[in-house]
Structure formats: structure tokens, C-alpha cells
Chain A
Amino acid sequence: MNRHHDIFRLAVVGVVRSGLAALLGTAVTVSAAVQLSTGVDEQAQLPFWEISDTSMELRLVQRLPDQTRGFFTARGFSAAHAEMVAQSCVFQTVFKNKSQHGTPSPLTYDLRAWAVSVAGATQSMKTRADWKAQWQRLAVALPAQLAFEWSLYPTQQVYQAGDYNWGMSTFNLKPGTAFDLKVVWRQHGRAHTATIRGIRCAPDVDITPVAPP
């Protein structure tokens, strides 16, 4: 397994307990159960960042801009439109509810609540709705729009125990950019927040010919 635990790079911001304590604003506690793993994904052979506890697992695997170009041009996108996605920092994303191994509990999330931080500035992820508006404005063919919609990670979801999705998530950053990601999800009756620091978008290839020395 090409993975190692790197707890120092994970800042678990807290677990906000629901109910009276949350109303009082005093219930932010540190979850010691959430762990970060980084390494090289065995299938993709590209870097991954993963958070997990006994009930959930979220893995983000870099996707090379060239992979994205190839995928979308093969599904009806023009080279120019595929390039827009390729330049948006794409990660293969897998989010699992694995609470069937303990106390089963639904897991919910909404990507619009996640925050991307780069050099002190914070922005949102680019979701299906954002892209849809863009493709409609650019009059992208409907079959291509359909393929795009279903290949992108769902903006919000409810996973029952044993459920998971696998799809592309886009962070609207240039290739090679490093960023922190605040992840928010809800399970076992409370909200969980964890920040993964130092994620890096896959770099692009330089196709400019270089003169021999």
C-alpha cells in the first residue's frame, strides 16, 4: 500500500454537536477519530488525499489535465470546451458511508458548504449548476452536457449505510495550485468538519517544444 498517515497535515476543525449545546454555541469539539492518509492511488498511480473515520471515507485523487481533455473530447466536447474543464483542477472523488460496519447512520453533504482556501482567499467549488449555466451559454450539445452532468460529483447527496459515489469534482483553480479544503458532512446526528491542508491540483504538461541546448 502506497499510503501513509500524515496527521500533522490534517486540521480537524471540529465536530459540531446538534441540539442544545450547538444552540449555545459552545459545542465545538475536536474529533480525534478522523484521520488523513496521503500517498499514491494504486489504480490511478496519482497522488491522493483521504479522510476517514469508522463511518465514512472521502478520497480525492488527482486527475491530469490530459485525462480530462481526453475524457470530454471523447464525449462530444470541442477541444476549447474540454480545455475549460481541464484547467479547472479536477479530482476523482469517492465518498463512502461505511457505517454498516458499526452503527448504521445516513450521511449527508452539500458541496456548496465546502470551502477552498488558497493563500488566504476562500472560494467555493464549481458545481454541476455552475457548469450547466456555462455550457448552456456556450450552446454545448445536449449529449455532451448529459455526459458532463453525470460524470461530475453530485452537489448534494444522502448516503445510506453502504452507499457511495464516484465522480469528478472541480475546484476552479489552475493546474499545480496548492489549496486547503474544508469538508463538511453530517452523520450520527451531528455535523462534522475537517480541513485537509496542502492538496495540490495536478500540474499540466508543457507542450511547448524546447530547443536543444
Chain B
Amino acid sequence: MNRLLARFVIVMLYTGAALAADTQQQTLPALAKPFRAPDFMLPGEDGKTYRLSDYRGKVVVVNFWATWCPPCRFEMPSLERAWARLKDKNVVVLAINVGESADVIFEFTGQYPMSFPLPMDLDGAVIKQYPVTGLPTTYVINPHGMVTHRAVGSRDWDDPQLMKALLKLKK
């Protein structure tokens, strides 16, 4: 009986650990060949204009997204939390919406509050300059303007490991 109980406990511990790993292990893959980030200048949902090269010297997280994309919606709250913690540490978030109007984005921000810039790639010209094949895709650009990391699919951006990886790029 004790042996059976011990086996049950081991199985439960193993299962619990596997589930925890599945939900907690966040990755930020490094690019085998970093490349110079194509510059862009886009209108924001807030009426301002955003140019990538204005952020040289900072770590820039460029996230391509759309309101209808479920994984994009999953990650927005964590991106907002990460932004709140990193914005005073030379880390910038530019969440580029692909193909939707300011009205659609404005309505969306009523449900998903986002305080980082939301440039609009209305004709899809900027996303074509980056090797993106699916949404969401996030590129990380180092202070020298080189794209060094790519994440395809959503992430928990306020995961301590991910935030540590972003801050490490400042050096």
C-alpha cells in the first residue's frame, strides 16, 4: 500500500512539474544571423509619427499584431506589464498593427489597455521588409540597430527571464 502511495505521489509530482514547465518556460530565440533593422516611419493610432531610427541607443521590441489575431490578444496584457517595468530602463515597445484603421485599434484598446506606441502599417509595407510569415511576430533590436532575437507566437513578456534577456541587450 505504501509502495502504491509512493508511486502515486511520484506520478503526481512528475505531472505537476511537466504542466508547470509547459506554462512557464518562455523562450526568446536568438537569430543565427542578426541583421540591420529596416527603418520605418509610421503614423500612430494616437496621431503621432513613429520612426524606428529615433530610438537608436535603446533596446526596441517591435511587435507585429492585429486585433483579430487570438495569440496577439493573449500577449498584449503581459506586454503592457513588461512595458510598465522597463520603459524607464531604455527599453521601447513599438506594437505595429497590420492593416487596421485607427478606429478599430482605438476600440480594441478599450478592452486591452495599451500605453506603448501603436504605429499603423496600413498597407503592409513595413511588415514586408521584415521576415514575418505569421502574426504575432516580435523582433528585438539592440541599441546598435541590429535585429538580434525573434519570437513567433505569443509570449508572457513580463516573465522575469524574458525581461532579463531584454535588459541584457542594453550592454
Interface residues of A (CB under 8 A from B): 71, 75, 96, 98, 100-101, 142-143, 146-147, 149-151, 153-157, 159-167
Contacts and interface: CB of A to CB of B under 8 A. Distances in A.
Interface in B15-63: 18, 21-22, 25-27, 29
Interface string B97-117: 011000000000000000000
Interface of B: 18, 21-22, 25-27, 29, 66, 68-71, 98-99, 122-124, 127, 133-135, 150-153, 155
Contact of B69 (A143, A146, A166): A166
Contacts of B123: 142, 146
26 contacts: A96-B153, A98-B22, A101-B18, A101-B22, A146-B98, A146-B99, A146-B123, A149-B124, A150-B127, A151-B66, A151-B69, A153-B134, A154-B133, A155-B133, A160-B29, A161-B29, A162-B26, A162-B29, A162-B155, A163-B27, A163-B29, A163-B151, A164-B71, A165-B152, A165-B153, A167-B134
A157 B153 contact: no
B22 A166 contact: no
B150 A160 contact: yes
A150 B153 contact: no
Contact of B152 (A142, A143, A147, A163): A163
B68 A71 contact: yes
Given A159-B152, A162-B29, A150 B22 contact: no
Contacts of A149: 124
Main secondary structure of the interface of B (DSSP, over half): loop
Contact of B133 (A100, A143, A156): A156
Nearest to A157: B133
B124 A146 contact: yes
Given A163-B29, A166-B70, 13 more contacts: A98-B22, A101-B22, A146-B99, A147-B68, A150-B127, A150-B134, A151-B66, A160-B150, A162-B26, A162-B155, A165-B133, A166-B153, A167-B135
Contacts of A164: 71, 152-153
Contacts of B18: 101
A153 B134 CA distance: 7
A45 to B, nearest CB: 15
Contacts of A166: 69-71, 134, 153
A143 B99 contact: yes
A132 to B, nearest CB: 12
Contacts of B127: 150
Given A150-B135, A156-B133, A100 B25 contact: yes
B98 A162 contact: no
A101 B21 contact: yes
| Most chain B beta-carbon neighbours within 10 Å: one of A147, A153, A166 | A166
B38 to A, nearest CB: 18
Nearest to A74: B68
Contacts of B68: 71, 75, 147, 151
Which 3 residue pairs spanning A and B have beta carbons closest together? Answer: A162-B27, A160-B29, A164-B153
A146 B127 CA distance: 11
A48 to B, nearest CB: 15
A156 B98 CA distance: 20
Nearest to A148: B99
A162 B133 contact: no
